Amino acid sequence: MPAISSAQKSQIEFALTTRHAQLLAEIREELAQSGQQHFADLAGEVADVGDASVADLLVDQNIAIVRRQVEELTRIEAAQKHLHDADFGACSECGLDISLQRLLVVPDATRCIVCQGQHEKTYSHESTPKL
């Protein structure tokens, strides 16, 4: 069971709150920018196939950025709820303690650095598109 003091939990809570506020601001900014960039503006008045594909790419990229930010926001909110549980700070894979340094940098971390590295090696190929 992780031995995280109340002072350390306060530090982690501050990191979570700070990142939560940053993400909300980033999401609002991204949505405001994407709302101002309509497809026709991106593609131009007379869109050819190349212009249309660039515009599609830019729209898709904006959507992917917001999706990634929302996913992180969801993890941050889950960590905020879980912060005061007895097992907060325990690795979901091996059960060992996640270091305080890691939790301060990645406050929504659910794995220790060793297990996270193994997870990334195992699942890094999943997001690689295949044609």
DSSP 128: S
Given a cut of 80, is residue 11 above it in pLDDT?
Answer: yes
Angle at 5 between CA 3 and CA 8, to 5 degrees: 115
Return the structure tokens found at 34: 């994407």
Return the structure tokens found at 20: 């939560």
Burial class for 111, CB neighbours closer than 10 Å (0-12, 13-18, 19+): buried
Which of 2.102.10.10, 3.90.1530.30, 3.40.50.300, 1.20.120.910 would CATH assign to domain 6-127?
1.20.120.910
Cβ atoms of 74 and 16 closer than 8 Å: no
Return the structure tokens found at 92: 């979901």
Cβ atoms of 79 and 107 closer than 8 Å: yes
Given a cut of 70, is residue 129 above it in pLDDT?
Answer: no
Q: Where are the domains of the chain?
A: 6-127
Residue pLDDT, tens place only, 69-122: 999 999 999 999 999 898 899 999 999 999 999 999 999 999 999 999 999 999
Q: 44: Cβ–Cβ under 8 A, 6 or more apart, which residues?
A: 51
pTM of the predicted model as reported, rounded to 2 decimal places: 0.70
- Give the torsion through C-alpha atoms of 32, 36, 38, 43, to 10 deg: -120
Given a cut of 70, is residue 67 above it in pLDDT?
Answer: yes
